[in-house]
Amino acid sequence: MTTNIRVMIVEDHPDYREGVRFALETEQDFELYATFGTAERALQSISETKDKTELPNVILLDLMLPGMSGIEAIPLFKKHTPDTHLLVLSQSEKESDVLRAISMGASGYLLKNASLNTIIDGIRTVMAGGASLDSKIAKYILNSVQKQRPDSASAARLTKREMQVIQLISEGQVKKQISHSLGISPPTVATHVRHIYEKLGVSNAPSAISKAYRTGLLPPE
């Protein structure tokens, strides 16, 4: 039996929110958990949920919200529902917004001009353990970290297999694809990914990719 992906939308623009909501409801494997116009109301809903197994799997989070901003809300969402993936949907391409969102724990960052199909694919990607990044944002992050001075001493040494895994993650593959590419089981891939995160001191795929480029573990393209 397949469990539906529960999605919460936190977006203050009604038309955009309704468009995304409609797209989600056309997907058989998705379940619309709730929609909110402010981070405060979304956080209140999560804090009042008694059965923690019923919390959303993915939160689509706008950054420019009335009251508490999406950036300010990220650590609070991570505190109250740590197993939920945060996928940012924003108009902002600002360096500070992108890097702060990812460093705080966002599993992906898409621009609002992304197609609804891209957003749907992005949700499935983060649920599969991958990094969902808009192509402009991905290139920006890579350029940004390449400008920083590599500090290989700060990164724990990865095994040969872990290096293969982080390379495939950087190419956009998710755990199931990595399993097929390397001929190993999905649980083994998950173990390697967990070890990579622990050694690099990160909590998600975008941060792992950024750290790997910044410290010279992955060569500049």
DSSP annotation string for 149-189:
PP-GGGSPPPPHHHHHHHHHHHTT--HHHHHHHHT--HHHH
Q: Which amino acid is at 175?
A: K
> What region does 105 belong to: left with phi over 0, alpha with psi -120 to 50, or beta?
left
* Average pLDDT taken over every residue of the chain: 84
Instruction: Locate 161 and state its tokens.
Output: 């297999």
CB of 214 closer than 8 Å to CB of 145: yes
pLDDT in tens, 137-191: 665 565 555 455 444 444 557 888 998 998 888 887 888 889 999 999 989 998 9
- What value does the mean pLDDT take over residues 197-216? 80
Encode burial over 70-95: b for 16+ CB neighbours within 10 A, e otherwise: bbebbebbbebbeebbbbbbbebeee
pLDDT of residue 173: 84
pTM over the 0.75 mark: no
CB of 36 closer than 8 Å to CB of 8: yes
**DSSP 8-state symbol, 36:** E
